[in-house]
Structure 1
Amino acid sequence: MSRRSQSGDAEAREPLLVGDDEPNPSDLDSDEGETIFDRSTVSHTCDAERGAQRKLTYEEAVEEAGFGLFHVLLLLACGWANASDAVEILCVSFLLPTARCDLLLSSSDMGLLTASIFLGMMVGGYLWGYLADQRGRRRVLLVSLTINGVFGGLASLAPHFWLFLLLRFISGLGVGGSIPVIFSYFSEFLPRLRRGSMISALATFWMAGNILAAGLAWLVIPRTWVQFPLWGLDFQSWRLFVVLCSIPSLSSALVFRLLLPESPKFLMEAGREKEAVHVFSLMFEVNHWGQHKTFPIFGLRTSSPAARDTGQRHGPISLCKKILGPIRELFRGQLRTRSISLLIIFYCISFGYYGLWMWFPELFKRAEDGGSPCSNMSRSSSLNNHTGCYPVKTAVYMEGFVTAASNLPGNIFTIIMMDSIGGKTLLFCSLLMSSVSVFLIYMVQTKGQSLILSCVFSGVSVIAWNALDVIGTELYPTQLRSSALGFFTGVGRIAAIMANMVFGKLVDTSCAVPILLVSALLLVGGLAARLLPQSKHTELS
């Protein structure tokens, strides 16, 4: 796109700031303020001929801002937030084999514990998504990450199971907000032709969080010397592990508080043109760092502020209708078929992935003396009386680490192939292959075979998750994007809760039932993926 010389008013030539001690609502975004970037060094020039100012669409403005260093830094910041969510969710699976003895847990209690964080995510996911569509992505991410880290860390001090359960639930409220919103936020800075690969790269950080959680568990939990009294509490190694797992969320919240701007797409939809131009100018300067290029002056085709929430008070009934309004929109008109398909897919893949993944360390522990995870039923059933605890071998955490690292090939594959193949095809193929790998886990007879097929399932299923992250951002307009992702991830949390309750009830008596159920549901999800439209290289609406 050619950069024609533009005329601009005096305001456009002033230093561009995002946040200040006493922000002017017409000039700055509504987040409470810090100076994220000083625009005083940017020189805005125009030719002598002062023509009418260009009005660019969102996609045109993103192209003007360029692609480069800004997006790399944004990927690292958002990726760390995504990794912190993975750490907070998956840390429960690694602490179960040891925490069950300290907290006197039966298998049913373990299922309830793993389900608690998903219950919080289910409650928080849609509400945070709705607030992100109404009030902004950045503020919601800041608050949700803080809740995640604070209450996740406090859980390490819980002396009893039910208090630990409550704190994990509140932590889940925070995770439920950051997971769907982070992908909406990140996608709204990206040019159309780079979106698939960049969102796939963002999804790869989930693997990084998984590896981090597994590595910390491997390094910390087996250390018997980490045991000392603290405020009347026997502070053991698994509690230190929980504290360490809360640090990524808190550090990510600090990054969003100090460095990152609001989504320009959200600002345009909110009718806040000047603030959106500020963000595009920030993107331009960072992307062209050291190139001495001048940011082109332009206007934006924004939505009317009246179309957004004006902040007026609502009664309880009207407020509920307002909050639930986006859900009705998801199942109307041309959005209906894709929404039903995504609902089925999110349910099936969440039941399968979280049902198996949260129980992998426990299944590996039960197979540590040889045989398949479902073959040692008599020994594992004895664990339900709390005197049946026995030391966990370090190999259990090593196997968890290997399974987490097996995501890498699938992540690399999606980064390379997403923009050429498209999310729909990758989603369909991945779910079918995941179904086959889970079925084979049921049939194996040795611990080594179980580990190999668990790695295959991990590497293949991550392709489906990455494809969903791309498809979910591309199939819905800006005013519904975070609400849609929050709603569908909420459906996924219901599936995860059900899966962990099923595993908790049946893993000691009928281990084959939940495993075969996972295989069947993944097959159903793959067939539902065929109903989705192809969204490759589509423009964000």
Structure 2
Amino acid sequence: MDSAASAGSAKSAVDKNKSQRDLSPAERSIQHGDTDILQGEKVDEALAAKMMLINDTIDEIGFTAHHWKLFCLNGFGYAVDSLILLIQSIISTQARLEFQPSYATGLTIAVYVGMLVGAIFWGFSADIIGRRFAFNFSLFVSSVFTIVAGASPSWVTLGLFVCLSAFGAGGNLVLDTTVFLEYLPSREQWLLTLMAAWWGLGQLIAGLFAWAFIPNYSCSDAATCTRANNQGWRYVWYTSGALVFLLSILRITIIRLEETPKFLISEGQDEKAVRVLQNIANKYDRPCSLTIERLQACGQIVQRRKAGSSWLTRLISPSEVFFHLRGLFATRKMGLSTTLVWFSWLLIGLAYPLYNVFLPSYLATRGANFGEDSPYITWRNYAINNTCGIFGPVLAGFMCRSPWFWGRRGTMIIGAVVTMIFFFCYTQVRTASQNVGFTCAISFCLNVYYGTLYAYTPEVFPSAHRGTGNGVAIGLNRIMGIVSAVVGQAADTNTPVPIYICAALYIVMAIVAAAFPFEPYGRRSS
């Protein structure tokens, strides 16, 4: 009997080896962990071995309805981030007419300060106390202050509530990609890029709300502007806040998110990680061969804290923060990757606001030049422009999964270069139709780059430090948003100068993308 079992085992091993030989290199790396993205950058051998087992198990379970739910629920965070970011720029003109502030771009600074603090807070907390807390509560925090912002009695109060609303929304871009990626089978990692389409959907919603309310419920000049005849911008905040509140409820009712297995493994909670994956496998009738014994056989990971320390102690501990920052520079190659990724976020953080946040005023002047200066036409064009932005990440998602476009890096290079070309062409627009056409083309191509960068960033960070890396990246992006607001206050954004600056920045972004040391195509994230 023992010899029969041995023969059967040998035959099974031969069949397995044969099936592996029949696979292409990309399929072999994805299914069997032959070339994980950070495979050559192992700092903790036990943790790397456990992560490989977790990746194997996630691939074994495959893509399920659970992942579609995560795609939508994490996508909500993308949409809310872009919604809150654009609303403040959309309503600022009418709010200024009513409050007549001394600092015109105060709301832009407020929203970026809120998003900066939110990105840092939710990002670091995700690596210290887990992903689940931010996933469940960040949208709710944002919804409350978004609704309250609509009732603001003064410019300063409006800025405060905009900042607090952005604080809640600002953590979503950090967590959405992290949570989705850490549950996602390797062969479907391209969906991380596709998920950025939700960002464009948030922009569209903002544009539609503006189109519905601002042309019909707004005053025309500061002399006659009162709260009673200028309710449009407040309606935009109320409806947006109600929508965000609905999305926050859906997040905690459609799915009961458990902590991600990769976070649990990095915290030494092997039993919980096994249970989470087994629960998914059992619910969707999928195989799951992972056991606690297999994980424990990999050895003990490096422990960095005393057992029993509270989550609050860990959250405010400087040593925790520096531990996660050091982890992003554990090897020379990882340090180069982290630096270039963060630099890319700095560049896009300046280019994106200069174009998108100040686009309404520029579109208004272009429309006036073409004889189309009504608010209805301006906001109609804005909505059309934002609709086109939805489909950029869709194309990027399919480009990322194709070897013809050099994976993620090639997609970013193509997106940045084509965007730069359209930026230069836009300065030569002479008709109303060209105006709409080129702004739509820019939004589409810009989101090809932006959507891919959003996906690439968490893929190349180690799981134990992914929230920190994401948080700092988004935080740097927000800092440049504040800089753009100061530039907008001092410069004339009705001229083509911001367009030229944006075009030049995209050339640099393409060069940086080509220099990235890691390519996630055909490989698995840790």
Please tell me the TM-score bracket, short chain as reference: 0.7 to 0.9
Deviations 1:274-304 (A, max 9, x none): 322332233224444xxxx676573362764
Q: What is the match of residue 454 of structure 2?
A: 469
Match of 2:209 among 192, 212, 216: 216
In the TM superposition, what are the counterparts of 1:112-261 in structure 2 within 5 Å? 112-196=106-190, 198-224=191-217, 234=228, 236-258=231-253, 259=255, 260-261=257-258
Which residue number corresponds to residue 378 of structure 2? Answer: 396
Equivalent AA in structure 2 for residue 241 of structure 1: V
**1:164-205 per-position Cα deviation (integer Å, ceiling 9, x unaligned):** 111111122112211111110110011111112x11221111
User: Which residue number corresponds to residue 346 of structure 1?
Assistant: 345
- How many Å apart are 1:218 and its aligned residue? 1.2
Quote the Cα distance in structure 2 between the aligned partners of 1:105 and 1:341.
Answer: 39
Query: Residue 530 in 1 paired to residue 514 in 2?
Result: yes
CA contact (8 A) 1:502 1:514 kept: no
- Percent identity reads 22
Deviations 1:44-98 (A, max 9, x none): xxxxxxxxxx998111211232212121122111112221222111112222332
1:272 equivalent in alignment to 2:256? no
Q: Classify 1:275/1:215 alpha carbon distance in 2 versus 1 (closer, same or farther; 3 Å).
A: same
Whole-Å separation in 1 of the counterparts to 2:482 and 2:175 = 21
**Is the aligned partner of 1:407 residue 2:389?**
yes
**CA positional deviation for 1:499:** 1.5
Matched, 1:457 2:442: yes
Q: In the superposition, relative to structure 1, how do residues 187 and 362 fare at CA in structure 2: closer, same or farther (>3 Å)?
A: same
Distance 2:174 2:308 in 1: 23
Note if contact 2:277-2:288 (Cα within 8 Å) is conserved in structure 1: no
Which residue does the alignment assign to 2:321? 323
CA distance in 1, matches of 2:328, 2:52: 28
TM-score by length of 1: 0.78
Q: Tell me how far apart the structure 1 counterparts of residues 422 and 84 of structure 2 sit (CA, whole Å).
A: 26
User: Is 1:516 aligned to 2:513, yes or no?
Assistant: no
Q: Does 1:63 align with 2:45?
A: no
1 or 2, which has the higher helix percentage?
Answer: 2
Residue 307 (structure 1) shift: 4.2
Distance in structure 1 (CA, Å) of the matches to 2:172 and 2:80:
10
User: Counterparts of 1:428-443 in structure 2 under 5 Å?
Assistant: 428-443=413-428
1:418-429 equivalence runs, <5 A? 418-420=400-402, 421=405, 422-429=407-414
SS of match in other structure, 2:265: helix
Give the superposition deviation at 1:141.
Answer: 2.2
Q: Is the contact between residue 141 and residue 253 of structure 1 (CA under 8 Å) also seen in structure 2?
A: no
Give the structure 1 partner of residue 35 of structure 2. none
SS at match of 1:222: coil
Q: TM-score, normalised by structure 2?
A: 0.80
Question: CA 1:105/1:457 → structure 2, altered by over 3 Å: closer, same or farther?
Answer: farther
Measure how far apart 1:309 and its partner are.
7.2
Given that 1:132 and 1:482 are in contact with CA atoms closer than 8 Å, whether structure 2 keeps it comes out as yes
User: How far apart in 2 are the matches of 1:173 and 1:527?
Assistant: 32
Q: In the aligned structure 1, how far is the partner of 2:436 from the partner of 2:488?
A: 19
Measured against aligned partners, the alpha-carbon deviations of 1:439-468 in whole angstroms (never above 9, x if no partner) come to 222333444333222111100010111211
- Indicate conservation of the 8 Å contact 2:392/2:444, yes or no: yes
> CA 1:416 to 1:297, structure 2 compared with 1: closer, same or farther past 3 Å?
closer
Structure 1 unmatched ranges of 5 or more: 5-53, 227-231, 374-390
For 1:297 and 1:477, how far apart are their aligned partners in 2? 21
| Preserved contact between residue 55 and residue 301 of structure 1 (Cα < 8 Å) | no
The CA deviation at 1:206 is 0.8
Distance 2:290 2:466 in 1: 29
Q: What is the CA-CA distance between 1:411 and the residue it aligns to? A: 2.3
Aligned to 2:463: 478
Relative to structure 1, is the Cα distance of residues 505 and 305 closer, same or farther in structure 2, using a 3 angstrom cutoff? same
CA distance in 2, matches of 1:512, 1:294: 58
The correspondence for 1:72, drawn from 58, 68, 71, is: 68
* Map of 1:416 onto structure 2: 398
How far apart, CA to CA, are the structure 2 residues paired with 1:309 and 1:188?
26
CA distance in 2, matches of 1:141, 1:308: 25
User: Secondary structure in 1 aligned to 2:215?
Assistant: coil
Residue 402 of structure 1 contacts residue 455 of structure 1 at CA under 8 Å; is this kept in 2? Answer: yes
Change (3 A) 1:417 1:496: same
Distance (whole Å) between structure 1 residues aligned to residue 322 and residue 431 of structure 2: 49
Tell me which residue corresponds to 1:376.
none
